[in-house]
Chains A and B, each alone.
Chain A
Amino acid sequence: MKDGANVFADQSRGSDRCLDSGCLVEDIEQVLISEGEIQARVNELGAQLSATYAGKDPVLVGVLRGVFVFMADLVRAITIPIDVDFIGITRYGPSTRTQGVVRLTKDLDVCITGRHVLFVEDVIDTGLSLRYILRTLQAREPASLMVCTLFNKPRKRLFDLDVAYTGFVLPDRFVVGYGLDYDERYRNLPFVGVLREEAITRQRLPPGAQT
């Protein structure tokens, strides 16, 4: 494993990314997967999917928002014609716990009935939201429905779900970057890193309560 700050500085040299004191990198304890490792694996997945779905005119479906980073790189690594669409769902949390059940906030614009659908995820852990989404998509009777995730945390899974394509298996640690967030932050990091405990604690405190 590499030191997060050093790796991030090396990877970002010559770019416009903010590396000043106070930026996101200071909250990263350790880089788990570098930007280069991610890009290499995404390219492998792209080649694999291009072969699997050749001649099938697939629809790639992602759920907002975390998947947008992976989806953007994945579709550019796929060499066959594809459609891309996104759905949005409410997630359980402090702002939704009193709103009953999960609901779609953005439905698909593409009709997937009879189409080969590849559902693309940034990370799968408990599988709670994935289970709901797969049922929603399956009800529309696609020709096939497979799952591709860049990051997988199978130890967190509550129940069995069939994941056909996995980029990386992540350890049982709280990680951010490359689309993965904590409280909507850190998605724009180009690598995946472990968030410092202080950063988690700090962001839970109300404004003005930080020491």
Chain B
Amino acid sequence: MPNPRNGPIQFSHPAEAAFARVLDFYEIEWEYEPTTFPLEWDQDGRVMTAFSPDFYLVEEDLYIELTTMQQRLVTRKNRKLRLLRELYPDVKCKLMYRKDVESLAVKYGLFEKGPVPAECLDDNSGEPDRHRREVE
């Protein structure tokens, strides 16, 4: 396998685990959430907002963030991506939206239960806890 690891990775979302299996199949070396990028700081220099893209494709030097939230709910994630591009212009990051994940699911049969099982979709207004990286 291209990604020898010391132990099983605890993915935050079933779609991430499915995507990792596809990357492994095509022998693409990846790392899971290897980097946290500070995006906003308070007056004392403490990090208020940060962003940890889900995957880093090593050879491509590319970060990938998956989201299965409905398009209308990805505003905060889009904002983080915009800040990332402003603050770290040399960092390549691709955001895969719900439609992209669904497309992958159809093409590759990612999930055993069907195209995208209901439990893999985030239809509520809140983002999964792991996305709440802002320092309170």
Binding site for B on A (CB under 8 A): 91-94, 96-97, 100-102, 125-126, 128-129, 131-132, 156, 158-160, 172, 174, 200, 204
B104 close to A (CB within 8 Å)? yes
B35 close to A (CB within 8 Å)? no
CB-based contact B103/A132 at 8 Å: no
Residues in B neighbouring A200, C-beta threshold 8 A: 106, 115
Q: Which residue of A lies closest to B61 (CB)?
A: A159
With A and B bound together, what is the CA distance between A160 and B94 in angstroms?
11
Q: Which of B25-33, B81-89, B123-131 contacts A (4 or more CB under 8 A)?
A: B25-33
Interface residues in B87-113 (C-beta closer than 8 Å to A) = 94, 99-100, 103-104, 106-109, 112
CB-based contact A204/B103 at 8 Å: no
B21 close to A (CB within 8 Å)? yes
Q: Which residue of A lies closest to B23 (CB)?
A: A128
With A and B bound together, what is the CA distance between A190 and B109 in angstroms?
26
Q: Which residue of A lies closest to B100 (CB)?
A: A156
With A and B bound together, what is the CA distance between A92 and B107 in angstroms?
9
In which size bucket is the chain B interface?
20 to 34
CB-based contact B27/A126 at 8 Å: no
B24 close to A (CB within 8 Å)? yes
B48 close to A (CB within 8 Å)? no
With A and B bound together, what is the CA distance between A94 and B27 in angstroms?
18
CB-based contact A131/B109 at 8 Å: no
B114 close to A (CB within 8 Å)? yes
With A and B bound together, what is the CA distance between A174 and B114 in angstroms?
17
B22 close to A (CB within 8 Å)? yes
Residues in A neighbouring B2, C-beta threshold 8 A: 101
CB-based contact A102/B27 at 8 Å: yes
Q: Find A101's partner among B24, B94, B112, B115 (CB 8 Å cutoff).
A: B24
- State whether A93 and B60 are in contact (beta carbons under 8 Å apart), knowing that A101-B24, A158-B94, A204-B115 are contacts in the complex: no
Residues in A neighbouring B103, C-beta threshold 8 A: 125, 156, 172, 174
Q: Find B107's partner among A100, A125, A160 (CB 8 Å cutoff).
A: A125
CB-based contact A93/B108 at 8 Å: yes
CB-based contact A101/B107 at 8 Å: no
CB-based contact A132/B100 at 8 Å: no
Residues in B neighbouring A204, C-beta threshold 8 A: 114-115
- State whether A97 and B26 are in contact (beta carbons under 8 Å apart), knowing that A125-B107, A172-B99, A204-B114 are contacts in the complex: no
